[in-house]
Structure 1
């Protein structure tokens, strides 16, 4: 991991962003989680929160303990120390059974028409690839997935729904994802899984973690 390819910048008054790339790919996402794990284990007193994304890590800090420039210098040193150490994660494959269409996928016809394909072909394309989990965000346990076939890209809803049921599988632009809890949302809903993706009573609430591989299958 080279500091020469890494950008460190302000984000508001008390946050700093470490950006490893402008791209979205598994290699750069591994760098994100290598650094995230590395700095989390340091347990610095000035750090309030650490947020990993596709290709960057945001750090919210206490201004009365460290300045931006002090933290930037420290982070540069940590990146150099980390070197080529890889993010070690459980290479877990999670199969997600999905009921496509009907009352579970109210937008499936729109997506198929937009993409100029049949519903059957849409399901084939959606289930035909492995999806890497790049990050968890938006709502607790919501997985942002990479690898969707470009043939099924479609726009978001013009007007977001007030409530999208837990388990809903959606598409928005270049992404597909699963709503782990009931929440507002603007993705085109094509199906639903009855797996529980997020349960606060579990020791590990989220079924899905960064680095996992998701495989959708028609139920």
Structure 2
């Protein structure tokens, strides 16, 4: 393992069994899929985040799930970066995104939070927006439903059917980012038409 190249991949979500499977926890679901691939288990850290370590092509990749509510994700992310000695340029934050239809996945470095309070908390705590985000489209709420209600609901039956393949695509993208860099990971993701 090359200890000089460490990555931190943080899934944003809300802790607790009542939030499992909700749209706002797409980030948790994506890092769970990566952990499953490598047989890694999350362990709770005193700093209030769950962490699992995997090795991707000789690189240490720490998967983390903040155990504070999503809008307060920033401090646990900063703590994890410091604990594992990961530079901000190798931080990847996986989040749900209302601005993309369900199933659209985008990888981007920098940019604003786009109304996502968890991403805003991370940017504020870091003091920079210069980190990579993997955004998982969840679509917009139907007419008459508030955003708050929509993101806290579980994925629909049809969405749950598609979810495993989409989470695999997220995991593939993170692996490509770590091993081949941002440009090639974006090309791989976009060529898949997702």
Report the TM-score, using the length of structure 2 for normalisation.
0.25
TM-score normalised over the length of structure 1: 0.23
More helix by proportion, 1 or 2? 2
Pair member with larger Rg: 1
Greater share of residues in strand: 1
Higher relative contact order, structure no. (Cα contacts within 8 Å, ≥ 6 residues apart): 2
